Structure formats: structure tokens, C-alpha cells
Structure 1
Amino acid sequence: GAVTYTLLLDEAGGILSDLTVARLADQHFQIGANSPADLDVLLRAAPDDVRIRDITAGTCCVGVWGPLARDLVQPLTRDDLSHQGLGYFRARRTHIGEVPVTAMRLSYVGELGWELYTTADLGLRLWDTLWEAGQRHGVVAAGRSAFNSLRLEKGYRAWGDDMTSEHTPYEAGLGFAVRMDKGDFTGREALLALAARGEPVRRLTALTLDDPAAVVLGKEPVYVGGSPAGYVTSAGYGYTLGRCVAYAWLPPLAPGTPVHIAWFGEKAAATVAEEPLFDPQMTHILK
């Protein structure tokens, strides 16, 4: 019933991918991965008594998130989906209407809700069940842009955009996903050596643009004190905050530090922000 957010590292401690791992039974796990490259890494590392099967083609997932997510989903199942019944980062097999699902209490958007997994042939039935039940609550079919906006406000990283194998967990702000006291793992020795050198010389840094009308898209250079110091990884307009949010690789800077982002020959003023930008007390999720 536990779900864990974790990382795949290379020998140098670089981030090959980030994963969610749900323990569905004592020796049965479902892994949410980023690409077939993750499957290759796992197959190469697996001992003889571990079997790995790619179920992507036969699986689908619908995310249900928002303040009224529980009002929508709870009447569709006999199981208790309260915070006490299915806590944050927990998983359970249940039914939504007539559709068998694996419900994972995860949120990549900073709001209450679940990832609901079922087989591909039942995906439309799951969607129709949720869509019909959601009409009384004003349900919205939100796309990738909304998804990206919300995760940026919450400070959730996107592998491939915000971090790659060129970056370590501590640089990327993902040190919480590393457990140095739980035995050996690929990249552990490299991380120990990096820790002995002291604090990282670069960090993935949250920025907010000073002008609410200014928007950047990612990959723009960032200037500190008039000199180029890093680059934007991903960015998008934060509708909750009312301004654009950008993440950038920069030297360690204190919150409140002014910077500029180059944009079509101009320099947009921005400010280093303290994370998370949205709901630091997690009151939207832990309810």
C-alpha cells in the first residue's frame, strides 16, 4: 500500500530518471517511469529472481485533482477514500463505478486527488464514469498546459527539463529522495564524495517574473549582476500566483535576489523565490 518517490542514478550520481514505486503486494511493485530507457536500466540491474514486465501499452491513467476531488470520487466507490482511509502516498486496489482501478494518492499539481490506473480497454469507461459524476461539481478536463502550470507553482521537478544525468539530487533540490543509510545503491559513492566537497556550486532555483504580463518559455539565459550565470529549464504562467514562474540553474542565491532573464533581445526582471511558492503547509493536499 505504500508509494515512494525515488530516483535512478548513474555511477556519477547523476539523475537518470525519477520514479514513483507503488507496493501492491509483498513482492509486487508498479513503477511509474519516464521512458523506455528506464526499463533498460532496470532490466540490466535486476537479479535473476526479479521479473520486470512493461505494462505501458495495456494501461491508462486518469488524474482527478482539485478541492472537490473527493466529493466527486468517493460516491463512486465502496472503499474509504478519506485522508484516514487512504493517506498521502498510499495506494489501493478498488473500483470506480464498475471499473477496477489502482488508486494512488499522489498529486503532481499540488491539490487533493488521485492517479487512477486501469487497463487500456476500460479507459473510456473510467473517463465517462468520472465525467458524468463530475458534472454536478463543475469538473474540468484540463490539459498539459494546466498540469505544467500547477506543478511549477508547487515546485515539482520534471525530469528531462529541470534535471538530467548532468545534475545530482542535491543540486536539483531532491536530496529528500536519497536515503544514504539504507545500504548500497548505484551512485552512492559518488554522492558521498560530492558531500565531502561541501555545498553544491549550482542549484535549481525558483524565480518569479516581476512583471505579471511577462512570460518566458524555458532555455533562456539568466543574468545575475549583469553577467550570464545560468539558464531557465522550464517556465509557465502561474494562474494561482498571477505571474510567470521559471526554474533555472544558477549559483546558490538567497530568496529575494534580483536577476534578469533574456527574452527576444530584452531582459525581463525576476526575483529568486523561496520554495514552495504555493501552499507550503500542504493544506490543499493533506485533507
Structure 2
Amino acid sequence: MTPLKRLEVTGPEALAFLHLTIARPETERFQTGANGNLDLDWLRRRLPTDGSVQVRDITAGTCCLGIWGPRARDLVQPLTDTDFSHQGFGYFKAKQAYLGDVPVTAMRLSYAGEPGWEIYTTAGRSAFNSLRLEKGYRSWGHDMTAEHNPYEAGLGFAVRRAKEHFTGKAALEGINDETVTRRLTPLVQEEQSVVTGHEPVYADGRPVGHVTSTAYGYTIGAPIAYAWLSAEHAAPGTPEIEYFGAEVPALTAAEPLFDPEMSRIRR
């Protein structure tokens, strides 16, 4: 459900403006689903000219989980103090609730013909990006492209050279973990500012690489930057990222930064 557009309508005259199937999390704040930009345009063209109503596209900063099925209530209710019974949470109703420690907007709707809820929370692509960088997962097009080989990208473990044939085997002849001249390397910043990506990386005053992806690592409690570095500078060291003319100190780190034993993903 996450790709479906979500709009937030606010303001003292928002209620009068809206005559739709809609959720009302607060007195002057509403949330509605939309079928793409057509609905967004329809609402915006009908806004009062006095500024008493605002429409904001909140799709990118939120996600939606559809929890439906005969046992949907059995799954959700133990996670919250909010009453999710049929009597306490009727069909076509919406509530602000907590699932564990996470604040959500729950809507008693079903897109599957079974009882359940649409669960909305403020987690977008940036949350996913933070988690993948802590785990060392690469993003095609951001961290690596067809110009890179699996060994320099840190994916040599996936190559089975003993196989009789696989696509790309001939291209890897003479290439291994010992011959690469550059490596995709995780950097943990010593300061709390998060760089935005594509910055140059320096060591001993000279450029040695560039940043690909960045995010704040909430589990490790530090900003993360993945960077292509010359092989000699991918070893443990203290390069610096140039960020708007300032030098941001960082440390090259072993990966993955989170759960290096891979115990959590396999339990």
C-alpha cells in the first residue's frame, strides 16, 4: 500500500472543504488517500483563496502496511493498548495509536475482502536507506553500476568461480580480491552532521575517492557514508570528507556495521 498517494489537508476551514471519505487525526488535520496526482490537482484547484486550507502530499515521508485476514486482529491487538475489537474500532473508523513504541494512524479499511487495517506511519525511503547502510547492503545505481566488478564492490563472496559457466565469467579472468585498485568502503563520521552524497574524500590532503550513499545510522548512533576509495585507503584509516568546503573526519570501518555475525536475520 505504500506507493499509493497520501494527502494531508489542514486548516481552520478544512472540515468545510472536505466532503469525502477521510480520516480525522486532529480537529484541524485530515488524511485522505488519493489516486495519484489527478486527485491532488482536483483538491488544489478547489482550495479557498484565503489560505484557510492547505493540502500537502505526505506520500514520500510515510508508509502504509495492509494487515488483513481472519487473524488480523489476533496479530495487532497484543502490540497495542488501543482497543482493536469490532466494538472498540468499528469499520470505516480511524484512530491514532501506538504499535509497540511506534506512533501510527490505523484505518479500519480492507482492500482484500477480509477484516483488517491500513497502518500508516512516518517511515519513508530514508528509514530504509539508513537500515540498509548499517547492514552494508548495496544499492544498484547509487553504490555500484556496470562499471564495477563484484570484488571491488564487496560482493566477491557471491562469485562461484568453480562453476563451469556463468554470465560474466570470462570478464572476471585475472580479477580477484587481491588485484582490485578501488573498494566500496563504509565510513563512520566522527561528527553528527550527515553529508548528502557525491562529496570528495581526502587522505593526507589529496583526493582518494568519492561518497555514494549516506544516512544517519540510528542503531549505531553515528552518520554513515559509503565511498569508493583507492584500495590502499580502504584499509583502516581516518580519511576526511569535504562537505561544503569543510573537512568532516571519518573512520573506515569493517562491515556490516550492524550485527556482523548475521544472527538476527537468521533467527
TM-score by length of 1: 0.52
Taking the aligned partners of 1:145 and 1:229, their CA distance within structure 2 comes to 27
- Are 2:161 and 1:180 equivalent residues in the alignment? yes
- Are 2:152 and 1:171 equivalent residues in the alignment? yes
Taking the aligned partners of 1:228 and 1:128, their CA distance within structure 2 comes to 59
Q: Which has the higher helix share?
A: 1
Residue 124 of structure 1 and its aligned partner are, at CA, apart by 4.8
- Residues 184-229 of structure 1: per-residue CA shift (max 9 Å, x gap): 222211201324x952010001100011x22112111101111011
Q: C-alpha root-mean-square deviation of aligned residues, in Å?
A: 3.0
Of the three residues 196, 215, 225, the one matched with 1:236 is 215
CA contact (8 A) 2:185 2:234 kept: no
Residue 178 of structure 1 and its aligned partner are, at CA, apart by 1.1
* Structure-1 residue corresponding to 2:127: 146
Taking the aligned partners of 1:177 and 1:205, their CA distance within structure 2 comes to 17
Name structure 2 gaps, 5 residues minimum: 4-64, 81-119
CA contact (8 A) 1:149 1:239 kept: yes
Residue 161 of structure 1 and its aligned partner are, at CA, apart by 0.5
SS in 1 for 2:134: helix
TM-score by length of 2: 0.55
CA contact (8 A) 2:199 2:211 kept: yes
Residue 257 of structure 1 and its aligned partner are, at CA, apart by 0.1
Q: Which has the larger radius of gyration?
A: 2
What's the % identity of the aligned pairs?
Answer: 50
Runs of 4+ in 1 over 4 A off after TM superposition: 123-132, 138-141
CA contact (8 A) 1:255 1:271 kept: no
Taking the aligned partners of 2:68 and 2:251, their CA distance within structure 1 comes to 43
Taking the aligned partners of 1:131 and 1:228, their CA distance within structure 2 comes to 56
* Structure-1 residue corresponding to 2:75: 133
Q: How many residues align?
A: 166
- Residues 118-149 of structure 1: per-residue CA shift (max 9 Å, x gap): xxxxx956599769833532696632111110
Taking the aligned partners of 1:237 and 1:131, their CA distance within structure 2 comes to 34
SS in 2 for 1:152: helix
Taking the aligned partners of 1:159 and 1:207, their CA distance within structure 2 comes to 19
Taking the aligned partners of 1:271 and 1:128, their CA distance within structure 2 comes to 50
- Are 2:259 and 1:279 equivalent residues in the alignment? yes
- Amino acid paired to 1:182: K
- Are 2:189 and 1:247 equivalent residues in the alignment? no
Taking the aligned partners of 1:127 and 1:234, their CA distance within structure 2 comes to 38
Of the three residues 227, 252, 264, the one matched with 2:206 is 227
Name structure 1 gaps, 5 residues minimum: 1-58, 62-122
SS in 2 for 1:194: coil
Taking the aligned partners of 1:201 and 1:159, their CA distance within structure 2 comes to 20
Residues 277 and 137 of structure 1, relative CA distance in 2, 3 Å threshold:
same
Taking the aligned partners of 1:286 and 1:265, their CA distance within structure 2 comes to 43
Name the stretch that deviates more: 229-238 or 174-183: 174-183
- Are 2:207 and 1:265 equivalent residues in the alignment? no
- Residues 155-188 of structure 1: per-residue CA shift (max 9 Å, x gap): 1111111100110000000011111122222221
* Structure-1 residue corresponding to 2:186: 206
Taking the aligned partners of 2:121 and 2:244, their CA distance within structure 1 comes to 34
Taking the aligned partners of 2:178 and 2:215, their CA distance within structure 1 comes to 32
- Amino acid paired to 1:134: V
Residues 163 and 224 of structure 1, relative CA distance in 2, 3 Å threshold:
same
- Amino acid paired to 2:78: R
- Amino acid paired to 1:221: P
- Amino acid paired to 2:170: E
Residues 254 and 233 of structure 1, relative CA distance in 2, 3 Å threshold:
closer
